[in-house]
Structure 1
Amino acid sequence: MLKSLFGGLGKGNKDEPAANEPGAVPAAATPDPASQAAPVLPPTFGFVMHQAVHDSQQRVVAYEFMVRDALRRKESSASQWVQFDHLMISTLINMDVFRLLAFRRALVHISTTSLNDPALEGFPTDRVYFVLNPPSDEPVTEAIIAEIDRHKAQGRRFALEPALFGHHVASELLQDELLSRMDILVLDFAAAVDDVLAPFLDQLPGKYPAARWYARNIGSAEEFDVCVKTPGAAKRFALYQGSFLTNFHPLPAAQVDASQMRIMEIMRLLRAGADGVEIDAQFKLDSLLLFKLLRFINSPMNGLSRKVMTIQESLMLIGRDSLFKWLTLLLFTTRKDDGRSVALMERSLFRARFMQKLGEMGGNHKLECEHLFLTGMFSLLDALMQVKLADALEPLELPPTVADALLNQRGLFAPYLALAMAAEQDNIERVTTLARMLKLEPAVVNRSHLDAMVWAQEMLAPASE
């Protein structure tokens, strides 16, 4: 992972994998997103939304794709859904979204109207769940059940939100037939309280024991805990989505992770230009941290002719900037069993890469692009360390432009960070406005967004660690 991120020890482009590494492609075959990606996209690509989906350890395990206009699902007719489904399918194919599925699953929203669309047969059966939605003017029929059975016989899997399939679209008998065929059942925590409770009051988990549950729009750690810690619910819920990942309650200073604080102190010393002896002294206070650094430096992938045994030698070989980046990654992974930290790291890597690439396409010089990377990388440090962002950033002595964007949402880098966050929230109007402000085409921004998501995944893939 680290060699892919840094491009080796002081050699080559540190943002691209070496030619013999996983995910690398020959230079001649690598498209320039700004010049080649935009023409193949459907003009309304921006209306297709995607959200990260987590497991009970808060690791990212899937993405959910839907058409933004289809959120008014109860109002959408069969003819409208056909348009939504065509847009969804064509966008996913044109964007080659299956690149995201090398390590993940996809939950793709379609309507029951489009179950006979031949394009569905091109989706990988082992990676995709089709989330069914009912048109307002076309009830569930025996023919739809038969179509689902045909797909399931070919290995395809399905999900739906029971609250959308009430008596207005399916008889009680067909409701049972439909729900019994689902692999995943969806519970939307953003719905009214009665709707959230209804599946349990109707005893749906007991009626359909083979289905796992997906909790969507979880807005707090408390709601997440209800799903993973309540005895009955914990056995059923498998997938989770919402803002709970980045919400936090500040911890007392005594509860802050000691290893993280040691890493932050070394990062501060690097930013302050401290000499090698002082940095070496900090490493020696944490033998595990020193071991991890020397193991990385002496890894066979770095091809060194002799073993490096001191911090001074390490600084000479990789340089202060690369050591700072290595410590940044380590900051997020001090606890290997903590899925939440890894998920936050992935999102931070995505923001960092996305903002850096936007800066390059916008003509910013190299140092500004490096600082854009830093801005994205540290934008979730408060959620990681469970302290206020100002307190988390204080030891790092970041460049003023980076700090201003992170703490005050002002300055040169603030629009880039706002754009990254708007893209995560699928706020299409804001994405379009900010892209225009930065003189970037929305289609290019969208392509760079997907590329950054794939890149962040590859950085964390087990094969590249």
Structure 2
Amino acid sequence: MFKNLFDKLSRKEDTPQAANEPGAVPGASKAAPASPAAAGPAPVLPHTLGFVTHQPLHDMQLRVVAYEFMVRDAVKRRESSASQWSQYDRLMISTLINMDVFRLLAFRRALVHISTISLGDPALEGFPAERVIFVLNPAMDEPVTADTISKIDAHRAAGRRFAIEPALFGHGVLPPPLQDDMLSRMDMLIMDFAAPADEVLAPFMDQLPGKYPAARWYARNIGSAEEFDVCVKTPGAAKRFALYQGSFLTNFHPVPNAKADASQMRVLEIMRLLRAGAESREIDAQFKLDSVLLFKLLRFINSPMNGLSRKVMTIEESLMLLGRESLFKWLTMLLFTSRKSEDGRSLALLERSLFRARFMEALGQKGGNHKLECEHLFLTGMFSLLDSLMQVELNEALSPLELPPTVIDALLNQHGLFAPYLALAISAEQDNHERMTTLARMLKLDAEDVNRIHLDAMVWAQEILGQNAD
């Protein structure tokens, strides 16, 4: 149905070419917060937002190009009053500033959720206009007015950009006479695939893409490769969508008779030799069969992020300076980058794996685990998406590697010492805050520490990939 609707729109539309290129993302001091807009006693809210949602967003080639920051309870987006939103917005803004979230934005953008009633908050002026898009949410008891539109215009004059999810702005919060004024000022419109079907289709039933051709679209909560294909392959849709988010990237579906790339198989063999205690000349002999692999490995190892006192030039030096466990850790990265034709999906999976690995390792360090356990936590995170990468069952992908039992138990059985760390990383990606709270309590970690470690891990993964880009 969705695909057919796009087909019809593609045939019917006869609109001017959008100002932005198809698929392009639209393109910057802590002050006193605005006063709550609604009268009455303010609801009791926590002093912090707890676990901050920050999801990676992908472009059509599946490269990570942006992050989304939003309030922790999506249900409240539909139910919160103006006074509640005012407090949530202040907490969101102060939390992002305290976390120094702008470290993530050297080469990427951020979508930051606020409500329409906070458009007058001077703190918004502290966000980099060239890197931030503000996603507006409605307050159920304070509809959009002409004054709201005027505030948006003032921000746009200063270079700030905006997005909304049209399905959230019904007639109760966006009066029909102001709908065109509001939507025509948006740089991005959002479709949530997790919403009821009528809400997903509503923007297209209302011909919004044709009415606002300059706005790009962001598809959120894409749960399958088929839904992603709808956005990127359907005529009339492909030129609209610029950002994508959801579990479609990591959801695993075995491909019959799938075979690993020859270079990936060589990396697996090298890793097997390393685990089996093979001498350095045996390992070096494998690298000599593919010199590109050695070049990539040394580039990873010599990254400034690792802080080595001198550059490593040979496998023997790597073994001497790093040890087998650390060398094995860096070899895992080659599994994602050794393919003869690297694609955006492999690099996106690598970044997600690097995040999980660093996040779990740092959680282990914070919790007082010893060095070897932290190394194994890193491996658990790195291998957690190996099935998605190689498109084979995870036990089959892991079988040649002879990994430590604690790693295998966490990956295959979701059990044992490392399982809560992996579950916490996955829950953070899925925005499952109840699960995160339970797991953090189990690991004796508080939300502030988890938020900081989460952000640090995202920055680290981004910098590792940036420093090792071709």
The question of a shared fold, defined as TM-score above 0.5 by the shorter chain, is answered with: yes
Corresponding residue of 1:358: 363
Shift of 1:193: 1.5
Deviation, structure 1 residue 334: 2.4
Q: Does 1:128 align with 2:132?
A: yes
CA distance in 2, matches of 1:44, 1:304: 43
The corresponding residue for 2:218 is: 214
The alpha carbon displacement at 1:73 in A equals 2.2
Shift of 1:299: 9.8
Cα distance in 1 between the residues matched to 2:60 and 2:114: 26
**Does residue 401 of the first structure (1) align with residue 414 of the second (2)?**
no
- Aligned-pair RMSD on alpha carbons? 2.5
Q: Which residue of 2 aligns with 1:202?
A: 206
How big is the shift at 1:109? 0.8
- Given the alignment, which residue of 72, 93, 105 partners 1:89? 93
Residue number in structure 1 paired with 2:52: 48
TM-score (norm 1): 0.84
Cα deviation 1:189-216 (Å, max 9, x = unaligned): 1112122122222221111111000000
Q: Which amino acid aligns with 1:63?
A: Y
2:267 aligned partner, one-letter code: I
1:447 corresponds in structure 2 to: 452
- How far is 1:429 from its partner? 2.2
Cα distance in 2 between the residues matched to 1:182 and 1:45: 27
Larger mean Cα displacement after TM superposition, 212-221 or 242-251: 242-251
Work out the CA distance in 2 between the residues paired with 1:445 and 1:176: 42
1:9 corresponds to which residue?
Answer: none
Superposed CA offset, 1:231-260 (max 9, x none): 211111000011011012212345432221
2:234 matches 1:230: yes
Counterpart contact for 1:70–1:76, Cα < 8 Å:
no
Given residue 190 of structure 1, which amino acid in structure 2 is its aligned partner? A
> Residue 172 of structure 1 aligns with which residue?
176
| Alignment match, 1:251 | 255
CA distance in 1: counterparts of 2:394 and 2:108, whole angstroms: 30
**How far is 1:341 from its partner?**
1.4
Kindly state the Cα deviation for residue 295 of structure 1 after the two structures are TM-superposed: 7.1
Residues 207/314 of structure 1: CA separation in 2 closer, same or farther (3 Å cut): same
Equivalenced residue count is 422
Distance in 2 separating the partners of 1:448 and 1:277: 38
Distance 1:439 1:145, change over 3 A: same
Q: What is the CA–CA distance in structure 1 between the aligned matches of 2:198 and 2:364, rounded to whole Å?
A: 47
SS at 1:53 equivalent:
strand
Match for 1:285 among 284, 289, 309?
A: 289
DSSP 3-state at the match of 2:185: coil
Unaligned runs of 5+ in 1: 1-41
Distance 1:127 1:398, change over 3 A: same
Q: CA deviation at 1:221?
A: 0.6
Aligned AA (1:381): L
User: Aligned with 1:50: secondary structure?
Assistant: strand
Given that 1:185 and 1:213 are in contact with CA atoms closer than 8 Å, whether structure 2 keeps it comes out as: yes
Give the drift of 1:442: 2.7
- What is the letter of the counterpart of residue 344 of structure 1? L
Measure the CA separation in 1 of the matches of 2:89 and 2:287: 55
Q: 1:330 offset after TM fit, Å?
A: 1.5
Tell me which residue corresponds to 2:32: none
Q: Does 1:349 align with 2:354?
A: yes
1:275 aligns to 2:309 (yes or no) = no
CA contact (8 A) 1:70 1:81 kept: no
Q: Which amino acid aligns with 1:257?
A: D
Structure 2: how far apart are the matches of 1:82 and 1:314?
A: 54
Q: Is the 8 A contact 1:63 1:105 kept in 2?
A: yes
Residue in 1 aligned with 2:20? none
Among 135, 153, 158, which residue is 1:154 paired with? 158
Q: Map Cα deviations across residues 301-341 of structure 1 (whole Å, 9 max, x no partner).
A: 98979x95x75566556543443233211111224641111
1:112 aligns to what? 116
Partner secondary structure for residue 68 of structure 1: coil
Q: Percent identity?
A: 77
CA contact (8 A) 1:381 1:392 kept: yes
Counterpart selection for 1:144 from 130, 145, 148: 148
Q: 1:446 to 1:209 in 2, by over 3 A?
A: same
CA distance in structure 2 between the aligned counterparts of 1:398 and 1:47, rounded to whole angstroms:
32
TM-score when normalising by structure 2: 0.83
- In structure 2, C-alpha distance between the alignment counterparts of 1:177 and 1:206, rounded to whole Å: 15
Is the 2:52–2:451 Cα contact (8 Å) retained in structure 1?
Answer: no
Secondary structure of the equivalent of 1:450? helix
